[in-house]
A and B are shown apart, each in its own frame.
Chain A
Amino acid sequence: MEKEQWIKEVLESTKNLERLQASPFLVERVLTKIEGWKAKEKQNAPGLKWAFGLAAVLFIVVNIASLTKALHNKEGGNRAEAQQLAEGINNQVIYNY
C-alpha cells in the first residue's frame, strides 16, 4: 500500500510544474550563430569551390598525361633496342668449320 502511494506520488511529482522560461537573449544568440555560420559559408563560396575542383582535375589530367607519355616513350625505346639487337644478330658472320 505504502509502495503504491509512493509510486503514485513520484508519477505525479511533475504535476503543476512551472514552465521554464528560455533566455530573453535567445534570439540574439541564435542570430549571432547564424551570422557566424553564414560568414563561414561565404568563406567557402561556390566560386572558390569550383576553382579548387578545377585545379584538382587539372592536376590529375596533367599527371595522367605525363604518365602515359612516359610509358609510351619507354615502350618505343624498348622496341628500338630490340630492333638494334636483332640487326646485330643478323650482321654477325657465322663461321661454320
Chain B
Amino acid sequence: MDDINHISFREIVESNKNKVYNTAFGFVQNIEDAEDITQEVFIEVHRSLEKFNRQSSLSTWIYRIAINKSLDFLRKKNRKKRFGFMSSLFGESGEQKHEQPHFDHPGILMENKEKSSILFAAIDTLPENQKSAFILFHLEELSQKEIAVIMEISPKAVESLIQRAKAGLRNKLEKIYNKRGI
C-alpha cells in the first residue's frame, strides 16, 4: 500500500475509531474484546474499501461492519459456552468456560456502576436486532432515521424494535427486582 492510501486510511481510523469502540463495547461489554473487535473492523474496512459502493456514507458502512463483527463475536462466544456446558454434562475433563463477563465501563459514574451493570446484563439477553437498535439509540445516541439506514430497515421498524427492547428490558428488570427482593 502506498503512502497516500496510508494517510487516508489513517484518517478514516482516527475519525471513526471511537464510534466503533463504543458500539463494540455496547455489545461485548468488555474493554479488551471491544478493542479486538475495533481492530478487526478496521482491518475489514481496509480489505473492503475498494468494494465500498458509496451508496451509504462511510460512517454508516463502518457502523454496519462494527455491528456484524460484534454479533459474530457474541455468536462464537455463545457457541463456546454451549460447548463448555455440553462438555461438563458429559463429564469431559475440559473446564467449563462459561463465565460472566467482567463489566467495567470507565465512563460510568461510580454510583451508577451497579445499576448499569444490571442494565448491560439485561441488554445482553435481548434478541440481536433489538439489541442493535437499542445500543445504537441509547448508547450511541443515533436518530431512528440513522439507525434505519445502518440496519437497512424502515424507521418504523426501528421504532418497533426499540419499543420491544424496552418492554423486554423492563420485564427482565422486574424479575431481577422480585428475585433480589430489593
Contacts and interface: CB of A to CB of B under 8 A. Distances in A.
A13 B173 CA distance: 13
Contact of B115 (A2, A3, A10, A23): A10
29 contacts: A2-B182, A3-B174, A3-B178, A3-B182, A10-B116, A10-B119, A10-B122, A13-B108, A14-B116, A17-B107, A17-B139, A18-B106, A20-B21, A20-B22, A20-B25, A20-B34, A20-B106, A21-B21, A22-B17, A22-B20, A23-B35, A26-B35, A26-B38, A26-B42, A27-B10, A29-B39, A30-B42, A31-B9, A38-B1
Interface in A1-15: 2-3, 6-7, 9-11, 13-14
Interface of A: 2-3, 6-7, 9-11, 13-14, 16-23, 26-27, 29-31, 33-34, 37-38
A85 to B, nearest CB: 64
A20 B38 contact: no
Interface of B: 1, 6, 9-10, 13-14, 17-18, 20-22, 25, 31, 34-35, 38-39, 42-43, 46, 105-109, 112, 115-116, 118-119, 122, 138-139, 166, 169-170, 173-174, 177-178, 182
